[in-house]
Amino acid sequence: MTKSLNDIDINKIDLNKHKIIIPKGTALYRVIEKGRDPLIPSGKECRFAKEPQQYTPEKYAEEYKQGHGALVGTGNICGSFCLEVAIKESGGYVKNPVTYKITLKLDIEAVNMDSICVDEGIPKPYITEDREGVWHEFYGEKVKAIRYESLKDNANYNLVMFPDSIDDFANMFIVEEILGENLGRSRKCQHIKL
């Protein structure tokens, strides 16, 4: 029987062994609902966030601003290293999409899920519909970010960041809205050497 992410216990893994640096200058792409701040977890608009159903995206964002994000939702932000992947990942979830390019002004430390899966003998693709929310298992682990393959395009990657674990999170990025005429220019995927 082939091993999957369901067969591992994150609590028993030495996460320090699997840490990588995502270098400053790296661009991430995020597609969110019009009117939302791209650096605040957006609840239902973000494919990579779950929150209790009684919380609207607006209430979720407000609770996060008040410092309660981890209690009412996941308190994470997902960006894709490729614009095309960000668009695929948000398809069907965002009604009035706005696309952002978010460029790191500083290096960020991340856990590399590829490395964990190699060590644990889990073959690619390891992200499946039932394991797409693997990042939930990292809450409370003081992890800043997780790099893992995209469900929609497993040749490319996403980065889930945990703002509560990153000092001065809002000032770590250059944020630019990508307007329609510029979408075609930003489609080349970045492949980061690890």
Domains assigned to the chain: 5-186 (3.90.175)
Q: Write down the mean pLDDT value for the chain.
A: 79
**pLDDT (mean) for 154-160:** 90
Quote the CA–CA distance of 157 and 152 in Å, as a whole number: 10
CA 44 to chain centre: 14
At 51 the pLDDT is 47
Residue 1 tokens read as 């029987």
Regarding predicted confidence, which is higher, 104 or 93?
104
Regarding predicted confidence, which is higher, 105 or 1?
105
Q: Which of 82, 90, 55 is nearest to 70 (CA)?
A: 55
Cβ contacts of 50 within 8 Å, gap of 6 or more: 73, 74, 133, 136
At 189 the pLDDT is 60
